[in-house]
Amino acid sequence: MSPPPALKKRAAAAPKVVRVDSKMSIRDLASLSSSSSSSSDESTAPPPQPRSNNGGAAAKTMTIKAVARRVANGETLVVYENKVYNLSLFLKCHPGGDLVIKHMAGCDATDEINGLHPQWVIDDRMPRFFIANLVSPQEEDSTTLSDSEDAADDAADAVAEQVKKRRRTRIAYRRLEKKIRDAGLFETNHWYYAAHLVEYITFVSIAVLGVVYGTQTWHYMVSAVALGAFWQQSAFTAHDAGHNGITHVREYDEKIGIFLGDFCGGLSIGWWKKSHYVHHIATNHPEHDPDIQQLPFFALSKRFLTQVHSSYYNKTLVFDDVAKFLIPFQHLYYYALLCFGRFLLYFLGWSFVLTEPNYKKRTQEIVGLTFYFCWLGSLVAALPDWKTRVAWVMVSHVSTVFLHIQINLSHFAMSTEDLGKDEPFPCKMLRTTMDVDCPWWMDWFHGGLQYQAIHHLFPRVPRHNLRKCIPFVKEFADEAGVTYHMYKFVEANGQVFQALKDVADQVALMAKVAHHEATAATGGHHNHHHNHHHHM
């Protein structure tokens, strides 16, 4: 029998021991009832913990300090709706990868978990990992701060005020989520994707017919641009599939993602998922977000000018001589380099599928990527001569540059600070992400990437509903006292250019200072030597 139904039956078998508080949310009730499991279910909870059959009502309690202690000792504990879950043994099984869980260890991950998971995961899977109820901060404070001095009281008051503000923000965010859900904006319109399917078939048809029946250079170039447009547009849908946002069934959306990503686009959906889910949790964090770890070509923060340890690549990113030479010009070659972004994605995709340990979809992806290069190669071979072939490959690939501009636009000019693990999820997303203000008829071109701030707040809202979320998000930002950044496309690009230039100028200045100091040192040494010789 599969675990979820078994859990449900056991929970239903002992209703009289579950105490219900009228203030509890639906998720509270679900996890409370599901955690009323018999001892035979304990084998799935890592590591086995003694727990009363009374579930949440009589389960053991833990303070946040106790959680922190166990995390420091190597366990992976997270807090969800004032309950503590031990995910240590689940790390390697998590469909979103182990890093996203590790980044939340010791934290309240309620909003992150709600934002990135369907309801059945929260109701059926999570209760197995429940180990304790969290003692509320008020109870903890009353025992630890009762005998403190006046100065400590003031400090405690300041901390308490911060805690209250963060709590208000989180509550406001959950109200926002309910408003958006009640407005039906989490519902997918499958006709939207049917229309895009027609669009993809049209682009591919133009691309193939142009190659097969083309007689003039411009026929081939139209074909190349059509293929580039197909790659750009299908990447948007592959992104939606990567978030399980089309059918909302992971197995089906995985197949859509592999078909569009690997078979049609030559890009590894597995590589994309691994990096993208981390990006959603650790957005714009210099040490954790792979999307901004682009040395030696780009440095988006002054943090990269020394050395940064990348938790994603598990290596130290050194600001080496190549970076010192390139970064002063990064704002000048930014767009030129993005023209070749697709070739880099091929390399990253193949590296992932060939080397990622224990990757379950390896065979499917290798077949998909191989198939892609076969059909692409046969189209190239059908062109009349090598000059046309090179031009066709370059035009088709360079025409996807807008996709790379769109991907970077939302984050490259935004904050890269680390404000600590207590920063509320919505505050971090709005601080590190901007939206692009465009007319409705341009939504097709941007494919949802123009509303990345909203997408980061609600990754499971389908992209055709993101625009409708704007008034709700603006209202929330005003209430929470945070800035919702939205700029026109050209203005947003100007901000990215300026952000790149700021770091470039700093590197150039550092090089000048180092050169000046080296010159002064050698000059001083020479003068000293000359004077010494003169006195002799």
- The domains found in the chain, sorted by start residue, are 3-137 (3.10.120.10), 190-480 (no CATH)
Mean model confidence pLDDT for the chain: 84
Q: Which of 60-69's residues contact partners 24+ apart within 8 Å by CB, and which partners?
A: 60/131, 60/132, 60/133, 61/132, 61/133, 61/134, 61/135, 62/131, 62/132, 62/133, 62/134, 62/135, 63/134, 63/135, 63/140, 64/134, 64/135, 64/137, 64/140, 65/140, 67/106, 67/134, 68/106
Over the stretch 448-483, which tens digit does the pLDDT of each residue have? 889 999 999 999 999 999 999 999 999 999 999 999
Could you tell me which residue, 106 or 156, shows the higher pLDDT?
106
Minimal CA–CA distance to 232: which of 371, 378, 351, 398? 398
The secondary element (H helix, E strand) that includes residue 192 is helix 190-213
**Do residues 33 and 25 lie in contact, with contact meaning Cβ atoms separated by under 8 Å?**
no
Structure tokens at 37: 């499991």
Alpha helices in 298-361 (DSSP H): 321-326, 330-338, 341-355
Over the stretch 389-406, which tens digit does the pLDDT of each residue have? 999 999 999 999 999 999
Over the stretch 78-129, which tens digit does the pLDDT of each residue have? 999 999 999 998 988 888 889 999 999 988 999 999 999 988 899 999 999 9
Residue written as token pair 């055709």 = 464
Report pLDDT for 50.
33
Over the stretch 217-257, which tens digit does the pLDDT of each residue have? 999 999 999 999 999 999 999 999 999 999 999 999 999 99
Structure tokens at 344: 């880099």
Q: Report the largest interatomic distance among the alpha carbons of the chain, rounded to a whole angstrom.
A: 102
- The rounded distance, in Å, linking the Cα atoms of 62 and 136 is 9
Q: At what angle do helices 150-182 and 137-144 cross, to 10 degrees?
A: 180
Report pLDDT for 138.
56
The predicted model scores a pTM of: 0.81
- The rounded distance, in Å, linking the Cα atoms of 112 and 194 is 30
Report pLDDT for 525.
53
- The rounded distance, in Å, linking the Cα atoms of 189 and 500 is 39
- The rounded distance, in Å, linking the Cα atoms of 191 and 20 is 42
Mean local confidence (pLDDT), 300-304: 91
Mean local confidence (pLDDT), 187-196: 95
HSE (side-chain half, CA atoms, 13 Å) at 153: 5
Mean local confidence (pLDDT), 294-305: 92
